[in-house]
């Protein structure tokens, strides 16, 4: 992205420069549009569930900015020579259900014939220009919350290998298919300072984007991390997505380990599909927030500390 000539415009409240979840464009004093797109390859076998997950994943970037989705369009790459149209119908039905759940409207889409199946949404959302939640507002003293368990990439790898137990696959599937809507609404009520959703770059990658954009360091308590039950069994069997190692390679020089993370280390780098929101709340408003507190924001210069 650095090679691009990054556009500047007074209407553009959030653009390419800060690696945030979506673009935000101010239309008037009380309305800004949020624009985002996301599409993915299958992470589960069931096409209806995959449609739900891909849609929840795409809609999440609107919730991460503190907004509400207005409209969505399907983005489809489908191998017509390999798969029945019935599969596509189920995927689209799963996605449509999620769009409806948000209250947004599905208004169209586009598909191409492709060797590998991919599905997702382009989403337009709305927000008040003064209430945009970026990844740049975290302050020392804030408490950090994570709204979905880690290990979704490892479970997806176990599912692909045919080795995931039905119970674990179901827990991961329902976590991925669930919307970040309620967490987004709750954080706004509590005067959230910063938020991002945890997706392909894992907790460390997206946490570092927040730390750098905010000019702080994130301190994470290993023992407080929510993880999918049974996931360590799969990671110990080597069922770890390649991207977890790529993330580790890219980000490990920004991570300080105060204690040995042991077998939990790989979870910090595990790429999440439709992961939870990482939320920085002012500590005086964080009491009783209904998701796990995983650490705090401290003074620093864009690092990630594991204690
Ligand atoms: Co995002
Ligand atoms: Co995204
Ligand atoms: Co078209």
Last residue of a domain, one of 74, 108, 130: 130
Q: 46 in a domain, yes or no? A: yes
Q: Compute, in angstroms, the gap from residue 110 CA to the centroid of ligand 3.
A: 5
What is the extent of the structural domain holding 289?
134-306
Q: Looking at the structure, do residues 142 and 237 belong to the same domain, yes or no?
A: yes
Overall domain count for the chain: 2
Q: Looking at the structure, do residues 193 and 250 belong to the same domain, yes or no?
A: yes
Q: Compute, in angstroms, the gap from residue 11 CA to the centroid of ligand 2.
A: 22
Q: 88 in a domain, yes or no? A: yes
Last residue of a domain, one of 130, 156, 184: 130
Please state the pTM of the whole predicted model: 0.95
Give, for all 307 residues of the chain, the pLDDT tens digit.
Answer: 556 777 788 999 988 877 778 999 999 999 999 999 999 999 999 999 999 999 999 999 999 999 999 999 999 999 999 999 999 999 999 999 999 999 999 999 999 999 999 999 999 999 999 999 999 999 999 999 999 999 999 999 999 999 999 999 999 999 999 999 999 999 999 999 999 999 999 999 999 999 999 999 999 999 999 999 999 999 999 999 999 999 999 999 999 999 999 999 999 999 999 999 999 999 999 999 999 999 999 999 999 999 9
Q: Looking at the structure, do residues 261 and 186 belong to the same domain, yes or no?
A: yes
> What string of DSSP letters covers 123-159?
EEEEE-GGG---SS---TT-EEEESS-B-HHHHHHHH
Q: CA nearest 181: which of 32, 62, 58, 20?
A: 62
Q: Looking at the structure, do residues 95 and 186 belong to the same domain, yes or no?
A: no
Q: Compute, in angstroms, the gap from residue 60 CA to the centroid of ligand 2.
A: 7
> For the domain that residue 103 is a member of, what is the CATH number?
3.30.1330.10
Ligand nearest, relative to CA of residue 275: 1
Q: Compute, in angstroms, the gap from residue 38 CA to the centroid of ligand 2.
A: 5
Q: Looking at the structure, do residues 106 and 141 belong to the same domain, yes or no?
A: no
Q: Looking at the structure, do residues 126 and 22 belong to the same domain, yes or no?
A: yes
Ligand nearest, relative to CA of residue 180: 1
Do 198 and 151 touch, CB atoms closer than 8 A?
no
Q: Compute, in angstroms, the gap from residue 37 CA to the centroid of ligand 2.
A: 7
Q: Looking at the structure, do residues 296 and 201 belong to the same domain, yes or no?
A: yes
Q: Compute, in angstroms, the gap from residue 74 CA to the centroid of ligand 1.
A: 18
């Amino acid at each position: 992205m650095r090679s691009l000539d990054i556009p500047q415009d007074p209407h553009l409240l959030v653009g390419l420069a800060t690696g945030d979840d979506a673009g935000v464009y101010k239309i008037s004093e009380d309305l800004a549009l949020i624009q985002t797109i996301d599409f993915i390859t299958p992470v589960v076998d069931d096409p209806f569930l995959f449609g739900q997950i891909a849609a929840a994943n795409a809609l999440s970037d609107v919730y991460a900015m503190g907004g509400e989705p207005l409209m969505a369009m399907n983005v489809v790459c489908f191998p017509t020579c390999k798969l029945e149209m019935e599969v596509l119908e189920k995927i689209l039905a799963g996605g449509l259900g999620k769009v409806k759940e948000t209250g947004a409207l599905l208004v169209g889409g586009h598909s191409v014939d492709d060797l590998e199946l991919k599905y997702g949404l382009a989403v337009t959302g709305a927000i008040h220009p003064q209430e945009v939640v970026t990844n740049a507002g975290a302050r020392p003293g804030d408490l950090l919350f994570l709204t979905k368990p880690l290990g979704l990439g490892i479970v997806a790898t176990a599912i692909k290998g045919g080795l995931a137990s039905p119970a674990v696959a179901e827990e991961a599937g329902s976590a991925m298919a669930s919307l970040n809507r309620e967490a987004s609404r709750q954080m706004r009520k509590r005067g959230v300072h910063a938020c991002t959703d945890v997706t392909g770059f894992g907790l460390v990658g997206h946490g570092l984007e927040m730390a750098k954009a905010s000019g702080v360091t994130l301190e994470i308590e290993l023992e407080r991390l929510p993880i999918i039950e049974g996931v360590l069994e799969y990671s110990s069997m080597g069922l770890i997505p390649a991207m977890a190692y790529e993330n580790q390679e890219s980000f490990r020089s920004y991570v300080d380990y105060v204690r040995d993370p042991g077998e939990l280390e790989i979870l910090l780098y595990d790429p999440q599909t439709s992961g939870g929101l990482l939320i920085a709340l002012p500590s005086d408003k964080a009491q009783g927030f209904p998701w796990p507190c995983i650490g705090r924001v401290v003074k620093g210069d864009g690092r990630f500390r594991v204690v």
